[in-house]
Chain A
């Protein structure tokens, strides 16, 4: 019996020693991925490639669901509990917010001075991962927006076979395209400024304004140009009747059930992903793509979203995790972002190659990258506030000026609390 016990003890000792030796050779890091469905398999392929080329690091990927609008409750609680993954996939526009709350590790010590400049990436995607001079994430993918217009509806309405070139022309075309039935219900709508995937911050840029500046954190929500933009948005509600438009729009619940796909909407400001969706769900749709026009003194208001990878506070292997997320930002992996995830790379070299591979309509979106906007700071807050402000204006609860003045006050308060100044 005594012998048996001592043998067992020696065995246990040997096994644990072996374990330690193996650990010294290979570091296993955990990675949380947040896109569901086929994206899980696609990302696993990228992780496998990393594991194959990095014998000293083993990345274990787990799909961890987020709430709607990317509320990362699980990541938040995992960080709070001191047991976060070593790296995680994350909505890039929230990086400043989470970094300000101390939820992420700065990456600076794992980056070379050259890497710290972010010169390999689209500049607005890099701006979003830097907070108070420190780098908190590596960009993964991006997207871009433009105006989709239905050529058949244009022809039927007696319009020229081209997209509107000025905002005044957009208004005129929209009016010609909008059709009501005998009961006064909308049958076809020309254009609705608050539909699609454009949103008020983009109208603010279109009119030459800005909601908040990322570098100075200065809020300019009630800038006269923004008031002008909101007045213009509201003019559509006044002209066609907000009830008529929303009743018509409530029939389209989003996704595939989109009025533009069904030939019920002349023009829509939406994202580049629509090209792929239309190929799949409305292959016969005769449409084209153009930049959203702007008034004199304004600018192209297109903006880009996208995700990144971060290292949470409490990560056990930040060095190896940094190597992994940096690798995902390199040209070769970024080409896979297009080939496997079917998203747009943020690495400029990869983007230049992808540009040549994509559908000509997608390329028309891509042409706007040099003038595209990143998202303003504290985006989720600004985004929600802008939805409210547009609602208040189009439903006539507040004048555009009043709504924006109120938003200015609320944002100033929120920024003060968040960024502490």
Chain B
């Protein structure tokens, strides 16, 4: 059997196919070279550096598991930053996905001016991060900000937001809703693929809007939900720029998130080895999270045409 298959394979490659194979490999080569040099090599090196005392110019000095031991046993801020990031991720991901789905459903209603509404909802996503962060500093301003002015109209005494260690993370979570434009586009595209005949037959059976949403729409766009869930996890755990601009990790380290602390160790404290071990811990967390989501996806993600 084995021999037969091998024979067949050799026979199978015609001259044209061999030429195509060569051309294909040649065309793909630039990518592979780039990927190996600029992605694989740094990634593998950082794994090695994570076991070293490494300060960029000096030769890395192997110290075994010391970086990891220090992270888990001595570094108080490592735990705080990990907690802050997980807190942010756990609240931000479901919230932004729900908001993106709701917005996409609304923007999918065929009304006059639909493209204009879609543009408006997407607009914040193309605002540069630094500009929108500074804008949000003002929105969240406890004394003069528009948010607290609005809450005051409702008779609520608004919190200190970024000035209050208890409210600084919720403030950033709230701010994440500003960037749901990308998610909306994904869900809008997914909504176009929901087969109309399913709605029609459901209507014949007397299904209302709510039934249709839960029984048809959500299952049909569940692959898009899985995608945004994974991308959301990666994105939120690497949350960095707005902290850099808005809070510098304060007050009382309440917004010192993982990627921010990692950056500080690498470029401010010049401890690349330590920062590399932090990066690998984050990688393992993201990897486990992704595996978990993929494993669970067979229970809740529905691919059409699959039995």
Contact = CB atoms under 8 A, between A and B. Distances in A.
Do they bind each other?
yes
B144 interface: yes
A67 B245 CA distance: 11
A284 interface: no
A223 B244 CA distance: 32
B267 interface: yes
B268 interface: yes
Contacts of A391: 165, 250-253
A77 B267 CA distance: 10
Q: Which of B57, B144, B163 gathers most chain A CB within 10 Å?
A: B57
A395 B143 contact: no
A198 B143 CA distance: 25
Nearest to A387: B250
B141 interface: yes
A247 interface: yes
A71 B260 CA distance: 13
A243 B141 CA distance: 13
B301 to A, nearest CB: 40
Given A80-B57, A247-B142, A250-B142, A395 B269 contact: no
B267 A243 contact: no
A243 B160 contact: yes
A372 B180 CA distance: 51
Interface stretch (A17-25, A98-106, A163-171): A98-106
A388 interface: yes
A343 interface: no
A305 interface: no
B58 interface: yes
Interface string B141-154: 11110000000000
A380 interface: yes
Contacts of B138: 253
A103 B57 contact: yes
Given A247-B160, A380-B269, A413-B74, A103 B251 contact: no
A271 to B, nearest CB: 19
Given A76-B56, A247-B160, A391-B252, A71 B143 contact: no
B56 A101 contact: yes
A246 B250 CA distance: 12
B252 A249 contact: no
A101 B57 contact: yes
Interface in B151-169: 160-165
B270 A101 contact: yes
A247 to B, nearest CB: 4
A152 interface: no
A152 to B, nearest CB: 22
B99 interface: no
A94 to B, nearest CB: 9
Main secondary structure of the interface of A (DSSP, over half): helix
A371 to B, nearest CB: 30
Contacts of A73: 267
A392 interface: yes
Interface string A386-414: 01100110010100000000100010011
A98 B57 CA distance: 10
A248 B143 contact: yes
Contact of B252 (A248, A384, A388, A406): A388
Contact of B268 (A253, A380, A413): A380
Contacts of A67: 267
Contacts of B144: 251
B137 interface: yes
B55 interface: yes
A381 B57 CA distance: 20
Contacts of A102: 55, 57-58
Nearest to B270: A101
Interface residues of A, number: 38
Contact of B163 (A69, A79, A98, A247): A247
Contact of A246 (B134, B137, B160, B269): B160
Contacts of A381: 269
A396 to B, nearest CB: 10
A156 interface: no
B58 A250 contact: no
A35 B255 CA distance: 29
Interface string A1-14: 00000000000000
B33 to A, nearest CB: 19
A102 B138 CA distance: 43
Nearest to A245: B163
A368 interface: no
A326 interface: no
Contacts of B267: 67, 71, 73, 76
A251 B145 CA distance: 8
Given A80-B57, A246-B251, A413-B74, A395 B268 contact: no
Nearest to A312: B57
B161 to A, nearest CB: 8
A265 to B, nearest CB: 14
A71 B57 contact: no
Contacts of A406: 76
Contacts of B244: 68
Interface string A236-272: 0000000100111111010000000000000000000
A97 B270 contact: yes
Contacts of A68: 244
B279 to A, nearest CB: 16
Nearest to A67: B267
A313 interface: yes
A251 B141 contact: yes
Given A68-B244, A73-B267, 18 more contacts: A69-B268, A76-B270, A79-B57, A80-B56, A98-B270, A101-B57, A101-B58, A103-B55, A185-B143, A243-B160, A246-B142, A246-B251, A249-B163, A250-B141, A250-B160, A380-B268, A384-B268, A392-B252
Interface of A: 67-69, 71, 73, 76-77, 79-80, 97-98, 101-103, 185, 243, 246-251, 253, 313, 380-381, 384, 387-388, 391-392, 395, 397, 406, 410, 413-414, 417
Interface of B: 55-58, 74, 76, 134, 137-138, 141-144, 160-165, 244, 250-253, 264, 267-271
20 contacts: A69-B268, A73-B267, A76-B56, A77-B56, A97-B270, A101-B55, A103-B57, A246-B142, A247-B160, A250-B142, A250-B161, A250-B163, A251-B144, A388-B252, A388-B253, A391-B165, A395-B165, A395-B252, A397-B165, A414-B269
